[in-house]
Amino acid sequence: MLKSDTLTVLFFGKTGVGKSSTLNSLFGLNWATDDAIACTKAPQFTYLDRSHYLDLPYQQVRLVDMPGIGESVTDDEKYMPFYEEWIPQTHSLVWVTQADTRAYKRDEIFLTKLMPLFQPSLFLTVALNKIDCLGVDEGEKAFNFETGEPSEAQLRQIPEKVDDVYGIFKSVINGKVIFEKSQIIPYTSIHQWGLQNLKNKVFQRN
């Protein structure tokens, strides 16, 4: 049975999608990040300052950063006991993925493996990072660094990307936990657009 006085929020996803950088930006942490090398080799966790969740009915919020999946088959197998330990303890699971890709097969495979560990009460958020990179490789106008907003072209693409990701995740979840399209939050951890929306959704405050 999950403790009612502590909210456990677990961040999970493929290696390199920006889990640690998202946590750093959201909560003012200083966890190690690297674009080329996976820094999180074991679960790391901290307890949040209460200023982040004053309006929540919990004495504590425990934040957990999990090792990323997809670095290698060997590492995925090595990390599985960590997932088996932590997911049943989790109230709010934040699955971090990226907008600037069409390759979500690793997400599908691992989500399928982990579904038996999901309790029906688990609240799932899909954190869709790297909105600032969306469409750039196809020659679309880039993120507007002056205003801190996505370009008009990116804003037009975001709903389509959310629809794609929703279809993939909804099919795998298949009713195991409640999952609506509103639980997919587009954002950029680097430029911080959409971060407050993500924080609100993780804490189910909107």
The pLDDT > 70 percentage for the chain reads 90
SS3 state at 97: strand
Residue 137 pLDDT exceeds 90: no
Place of tokens 């993925």: 97
Structure confidence by residue, pLDDT tens digits, 141-188: 788 988 999 999 999 999 999 999 999 999 999 999 999 999 999 999
What is the structure's pLDDT at 1?
A: 42
What is the structure's pLDDT at 182?
A: 96
**Domains along the chain?**
6-202 (3.40.50.300)
Q: Residue 42 carries which side chain, given as an amino acid letter?
A: A
**CA–CA separation, 73 and 109 (whole Å):** 12
- Split at pLDDT 50, 70, 90, the class of 139 is low
Tell me the three-class secondary structure of 11-76, residue by residue. Answer: EEEECCCCHHHHHHHHHCCCCCCCCCCCCCCCCEEEECCHHHCCCCCCCEEEEEECCCECCCHHHH
Average pLDDT over residues 18-36: 77
Average pLDDT over residues 73-80: 83
Smallest CA-to-CA distance from 98 within 182, 188, 181 is with 188
Parallel, antiparallel or unpaired: strands 44-47 and 60-65: antiparallel
What is the structure's pLDDT at 52?
A: 73
* Stronger pLDDT, 206 or 130, i.e. the higher one: 130
What is the structure's pLDDT at 42?
A: 81
**CA–CA separation, 137 and 110 (whole Å):** 27
